[in-house]
Structure 1
């Protein structure tokens, strides 16, 4: 059985924080071969959505409130969902849609009707499109992986 939790940074246990960072590094840095600094000083300002099974975090997203990432720009009044990850052991079980829907619901519970932006790997465009996200940028490379920006606007869904 999956236990879903949304916690602020200061509510995370040391064990949960360790598991989150390990999961992100295992997938983004090691599996995807993208050496980058995962610790970007945003985690402390975010909420963290986790799927926990048998005391292990198997799926995770970082929920970024408005005004954090795009301060001073036209995008300042948008929330963001990032660091979307499912452990290798939990793949193939269709957790991705539930993870993202729970993330969207958690953002809108905190800040109703706010647009949500994601920086998606381009090959996942259809996946996110099924959740209502629309592509708003051309392809760009991030850590040598093709990405696109996508927006979920509650006014247009």
Structure 2
């Protein structure tokens, strides 16, 4: 294993994973979640949109925290939320998938998706899963069994596509 691969593998192995319902989140976790979503989606992607959409309180949230040795709070490395089926939508929906700048390039996106899909399929077997992907990430999500179910369309100035896995 080369030095960068070893470093990436080591950093992945050091992550602390938290899978929680909204009511179980601490104020620090909510703050970290909203700060990361704002940094990635609003600032980095220059996309002004209503991130606080009223759906977080019904969602499950997956957090990946980096090694925060010596820090009061470890840094948030990655995050995603999972919306369960409801009266309006019978699919499970994965959204707000992000890795923070400091943790990119170590395979965290793969690890988060693997972890979330394993959990979803154990808890809600046979339920289709859908996500609204940025169009350039179709190959990434396709590797996890997602296929496009819509045409590419623009949302908030960024090309997106709905994808689904059964």
Larger Rg: 2
The offset of 1:106, in angstroms, is: 2.1
TM-score for both structures, normalised by structure 1: 0.91
1:91 aligns with 2:110: no
Q: Distance in 2 between matches of 1:23 and 1:109?
A: 28
The offset of 1:5, in angstroms, is: 1.1
1:39 paired residue among 52, 56, 81 = 52
Q: Distance in 2 between matches of 1:133 and 1:109?
A: 18
1:10 aligns with 2:28: no
Q: Distance in 2 between matches of 1:4 and 1:104?
A: 14
1:108 aligns with 2:121: yes
Tell which deviates more after alignment, 34-43 or 52-61: 52-61
Match of 2:9 in 1: none
The offset of 1:77, in angstroms, is: 1.5
Match of 1:119 in 2: 132
RMSD of equivalent CA atoms: 1.0
2:86 paired residue among 67, 79, 94 = 67
Q: Distance in 1 between matches of 2:160 and 2:33?
A: 23
Q: Distance in 1 between matches of 2:21 and 2:156?
A: 28
SS in structure 2 opposite 1:6?
Answer: strand
Q: Which runs of 5+ in 2 are unaligned?
A: 1-13, 69-73
Q: Distance in 1 between matches of 2:118 and 2:86?
A: 19
The offset of 1:90, in angstroms, is: 0.2
Match of 2:150 in 1: 137
Q: Distance in 2 between matches of 1:79 and 1:38?
A: 19
Structure 1 runs of 4+ aligned residues shifted over 4 Å read none
SS in structure 2 opposite 1:67?
Answer: coil
Aligned length: 147
The offset of 1:110, in angstroms, is: 2.5
SS in structure 2 opposite 1:106?
Answer: helix
The offset of 1:152, in angstroms, is: 0.8
